[in-house]
Structure 1
Amino acid sequence: MSRLISQLSHVNLKLLQTFMVVAEYASFRTAAERTYRSASAVSAQIRQLEEQLCVTLFHRTTRSVRLTDEGRQLLDCAQRALQEMEDGLRKIRETADVQRGRVSLSCSPTIAASRLARVLAAFQSDFPGIEVSVRELTSASLFETIRNHEVDFGIGPQIETSEFSFEPILEDPFYALVPKRFISTSKSTIALSTLVNMPLLVLNSATALRDMLEKTLAERDLVFTSRYEFAQAQTLISMATAGLGAAILPKVMVPRDVDSSVWALRIVNPSLQRQVAVITLRGHTLSPASTRLVQLLRQLIGDPDEAPRHVAEPPPSTGRQLCGKSAL
């Protein structure tokens, strides 16, 4: 075996390729058809290879062609070398792609507003040659851009469907910003049944958060009243601070310094939360550049200091937020 390997540096790669085809099909005639050569030309190349290596590679009869022991050793060696070469070329291509690639994505507004900036800043610092384009869209439009191949992937809600693949990256509970004039409390939570007795401030029906809220209320025979609907979470915060109603928000959008006029209360009974995910079409493979960005998303989308201040009873610190999926 070692003698074969030492001699391979002098072997023409075309001869090795022909040898591997003959070995694969155990037939000179089939190898000739596959390589678009005559059977005599293939046979001549195998003889030339055997002469260079000073070994017999095939047992030939009128009915069969099979590898000798030396032929099997050469085939094993050649296959390993070919695999290593393919791996090396793939890594070279990936490195080149990462240096000068392009990434396009769609993102849920609440994630874009609260978490995406620092991820993109870190990515730009690590890979300055990659062009990144971002579209901030509500759920229905976000899924449509993925479906139509307008973006490489999305960051948004996980839904029940076989059309898309979801990789959870953030678990995000729902909070209510409740004007203190509506309620006095010493707790850090509020039951959904209590909340619906107040005027609510909710995002419009184009958002998955609204859809999740309505389904949960219907399951419990609860209804809510709202005179206002908005497309942006920041608008809900302003309205709640003005005392117009209790705003329902994902935790990522609850201000770190909550206005003293409102409580920031986690919704319980049931506990509502969304799962934020990286979304791709099922079967779609991300480019090397997109893969690097998703890796950074996993690492940076959580925030250990995101718990809102001025809640009635601040929950104990739990460190970096868990990764998971979404609903807005």
Structure 2
Amino acid sequence: MSRHVFPDLSSRQLQAVLALAKYRSFVAAASSLKISQPALTRTIKLIEIELGVPLFSRSTRQVTVTDAGKEFAALAERLLNDLKIGAESVRELAAHPRGQIVVASVVSLAGAVLPGLIADYSRRFPGIELHLREGLHNMVMDEIRNGLADFGIGYVDDVPRSFVTEDLGVETFHLVMRRDHGLARRTRIALPALADVPLVSFPVESRTRHIVDRAAATAGLSFHYVTTTNRLPTLHGLVRNRVGLAVVPRSERPLPDDPDLNSSSLAGHGLSCRVGIMRLRDRELTAAAAQFLDVVRSWWRASRHGPGGRNRRYSSGSVVNSSG
């Protein structure tokens, strides 16, 4: 396109036009702009060449604004005002961003870590509306694949090539039991110890159940499951009421001060998994979602070294735990 359709003019040049139209004097206008009079003269001349019309009539005694100059001066004022308002809006948006984020999370993260993190984030960025969708690992992947979630947090082992992953930690597994159970005094329990005890678990299709059953099959074992549930509080409740023992990711073990429940590390080949962030390879994150991820990373790096943080439930990596 011709430069006369889109003139190549800067905000400084527009200010020069307004100043000269206001003061009708090159000396006074140059002083208000804090530039020399010859520099202002050159600037006005370049603007008139760019526009192809004279904006001012000069004489030895005075400067007169032409009709074209009056119209352009009014336009320049509107443009500068719009630019000022737009810049202020952008700065306000940067300081107080707005938008919506949808995160799909495995159950344990949604219940154990995310509430505190989201509370901190919401206080810092009250203009961001954050929706959390929690479920089993397969549901998390479906939410991402269908575009319902900006990104997800869960297991990142063996995900499809259409996904981009970011490792955030390695999850191991614990056996949850009542404090008065015969195995409760052991700090580390081998898989064969579970062969003759009733177990409660996440559903068969859950990744936790898949990992545990695969490890059992590798060891030549077969477990006896009596009840399944997709809710962590329910799983703990079943153990609390003596229905059975439960194998859960380390991040889902009961707190140390739980009056009824205890947990011990479960030893066995293949009883670990990588957890992290998942998103579609061909879908860019929104600015708000990318910002939330940065907050997650920073929060985790800080929390894993802080006193008394829940990060002590994780091994290596930088953000999450896992679930069914």
TM-score bin, normalised by smaller chain: 0.5 to 0.7
Q: Report the equivalent of 1:125.
A: 123
CA contact (8 A) 2:167 2:317 kept: no
CA contact (8 A) 2:235 2:246 kept: yes
Give the distance between the partners of 1:94 and 1:273, measured in 2 at CA. Answer: 45
For structure 1, the 5+ residue unaligned runs are 1-11, 15-47, 53-88, 309-316
Amino acid at match of 2:150: D
Q: Sequence identity, in percent? A: 22
Structure number with larger C-alpha Rg: 2
CA contact (8 A) 2:98 2:128 kept: yes
- Write the deviation string for residues 229-268 of structure 1: whole angstroms up to 9, x where unpaired: 1111211212222222211111222222354554410111
2:99 to 101, 104, 110: 101
| Cα 1:207/1:318, change in 2 over 3 Å | closer
SS in 2 for 1:257: coil
How far is 1:220 from its partner? 2.0
Amino acid at match of 1:142: V
| Cα 1:290/1:322, change in 2 over 3 Å | same
SS in 1 for 2:204: coil
1:213-252 alignment runs, 5 A limit: 213-252=212-251
Give the distance between the partners of 1:318 and 1:121, measured in 2 at CA. Answer: 20
Q: Report the equivalent of 2:308.
A: 305
1:104-253 alignment runs, 5 A limit: 104-160=102-158, 161-180=160-179, 182-184=181-183, 186-253=185-252
| Cα 1:159/1:318, change in 2 over 3 Å | closer
- Write the deviation string for residues 135-155 of structure 1: whole angstroms up to 9, x where unpaired: 112122211111111111111
Amino acid at match of 1:247: A
Give the distance between the partners of 1:219 and 1:94, measured in 2 at CA. Answer: 58
For structure 2, the 5+ residue unaligned runs are 1-6, 10-45, 51-86
| Cα 1:214/1:235, change in 2 over 3 Å | same
SS in 1 for 2:97: helix
How far is 1:13 from its partner? 3.5
SS in 1 for 2:225: coil
Amino acid at match of 2:186: K
1:237-316 alignment runs, 5 A limit: 237-259=236-258, 261-270=260-269, 272-301=271-300, 305=308
| Cα 1:179/1:164, change in 2 over 3 Å | same
Amino acid at match of 1:115: V
- Write the deviation string for residues 171-214 of structure 1: whole angstroms up to 9, x where unpaired: 32211013355425653111112123321121112321111112
The count of corresponding residues between Structure 1 and Structure 2 is 239
TM-score by length of 2: 0.63
TM-score by length of 1: 0.63
SS in 1 for 2:224: coil
Q: CA RMSD in A?
A: 3.5
How far is 1:94 from its partner? 11
CA contact (8 A) 2:107 2:323 kept: no
Give the distance between the partners of 1:187 and 1:307, measured in 2 at CA. Answer: 22
Give the distance between the partners of 2:270 and 2:310, measured in 1 at CA. Answer: 17
Give the distance between the partners of 1:266 and 1:245, measured in 2 at CA. Answer: 17
